[in-house]
Amino acid sequence: MSRDTALVSADWAEKSLGAPGVVFVEVDEDTSAYDAGHLPGAVKLDWKKDLQDPVRRDFVNKSQLEALLSAKGISNDDTVVLYGGNNNWFAAYAYWYLRLYGHRDVRLLDGGRKKWELDNRPLTTDPVSRPRTSYVAREQDHSIRAFRDEVLAAIGAKNLVDVRSPDEYAGRLLAPAHLPQEQAQRGGHIPTALNVPWSKAANEDGTFRSDDELRALYTGAGLDGSRSTIAYCRIGERSSHTWFVLHELLGHDDVKNYDGSWTEYGSLVGVPVAVGDEPGEAT
């Protein structure tokens, strides 16, 4: 994987609007953004309603995903270009999710909705309908998804990267500051986790920093490139952004996203938790 196969520029995207075999997909936390104006021809995915099981805390299963993508008019052979608000957090999450289910050609629009809007590029409220397809997903590829026991075993053994803001890492905030803070779980981070906020990987307009800048960022933070890495945040969306950087842009071999993230780990009984600005020790 590399920048050339994983990322597209806004210029490329604007020229490719309506091109056969290219499907633009907007993924948001709040889908009213799509409804108020989207890239011409883009379909929408709701990261929660479409991608999460409505009862259990887990993803929709293979056949549910097949039904969803078929209804959206997405084929196995299509190039899927994802974009969204929140600096592409949920678009990156959907990127990781579609890779998890084996979609071959997925791209992220560099800068997402924000750069597109700031550039004054075209948005429309025209309804979009694409002919139904018969999408066939693969079984989940767990080489890119981490579960809690694996995360516990990784303390002191693998790189753990906490990509939340420094205040969330330290336990001073429990959620990003656009959300209410009242939550049940404990504050802090997984002992030994490095804090490399996702935002350090992006420019102010939401585009990714250069490969050289990204390499310097993680090396400087003490990430040992020879070890396996698990990234986490609060619910796995910002860590998808960092997973994308490490695995897709920089080509690190073994990088997993822990989608349970702090909302799971910080509510587990008996697990070690570190508070404050230091990573803490493996015990």
Partner 1 sequence: MSTSVGAGAAAAAAAGCGAPDQAVALPAGVDLTKETVIAGVVTAAESGEPVSGAYVRLLDRDGEFTAEVVTSPAGQFRFFAAPGSWTVRVLSRAGAGTASVTADRGVTEVAVSVAAD
Q: By CB under 8 A, is residue 159 in contact with partner 1? A: no
* Nearest-5° Cα angle at 223, 275 to 1: 125
**Is 229 an annotated catalytic residue?**
no
Would you say 208 and 248 are in contact if contact means Cβ atoms under 8 Å apart?
no
Would you say 198 and 91 are in contact if contact means Cβ atoms under 8 Å apart?
no
Which of 100, 91, 121 lies closest to 24, judged by CA?
91
The DSSP result for 85-118, as a single string, is HHHHHHHHHHHHHHHHTT-S-EEEETTHHHHHHH
Q: By CB under 8 A, is residue 173 in contact with partner 1? A: yes
- Record the tokens describing residue 195, joined without a space: 């804090």
Closest separation between CB of residue 49 and partner 1, Å? 20
Tell me which of 188, 197, 236, 260 binds partner 1, using CB under 8 A. 197
Closest separation between CB of residue 38 and partner 1, Å? 14
Q: By CB under 8 A, is residue 41 in contact with partner 1? A: no
Stretch of 60-68, 95-103, 173-181, 212-220 lying at the interface with partner 1 (CB under 8 A): 173-181
Closest separation between CB of residue 47 and partner 1, Å? 17
Catalytic residue among 193, 233, 246, 255: 233
Beta bridge partners of 195: 162
Q: By CB under 8 A, is residue 88 in contact with partner 1? A: no
Provide the pairing of β-strand 106-109 with 22-28. unpaired
Q: Total residues at the site for partner 1 (CB under 8 A)?
A: 25
Buried b (16+ CB within 10 A) or exposed e, 88-127: bbbbbbbbbbbbbbebeebbbbbbbbbbbeeeeeebeeee
Kindly tell me which of 89 and 97 has the beta carbon lying closer to partner 1. 89
Tell me which of 16, 75, 199, 228 binds partner 1, using CB under 8 A. 199
Would you say 233 and 262 are in contact if contact means Cβ atoms under 8 Å apart?
yes
- Record the tokens describing residue 2, joined without a space: 């590399």
Closest separation between CB of residue 172 and partner 1, Å? 6
- CA dihedral of residues 186, 188, 189, 191 (deg, nearest 10): -100
Stretch of 74-82, 145-153, 196-204, 251-259 lying at the interface with partner 1 (CB under 8 A): 196-204
Closest separation between CB of residue 197 and partner 1, Å? 6
Q: By CB under 8 A, is residue 153 in contact with partner 1? A: no
Stretch of 10-18, 63-71, 178-186, 224-232 lying at the interface with partner 1 (CB under 8 A): 178-186
Kindly tell me which of 66 and 110 has the beta carbon lying closer to partner 1. 110
- Record the tokens describing residue 55, joined without a space: 């009862």
Tell me, what amino acid is at 65? L
Q: By CB under 8 A, is residue 180 in contact with partner 1? A: yes
The residues binding partner 1 (CB under 8 A) are 33, 85-87, 114, 117-118, 120, 165-167, 172-173, 175-182, 197, 199, 204-205
Q: Which residues form the catalytic set?
A: 233
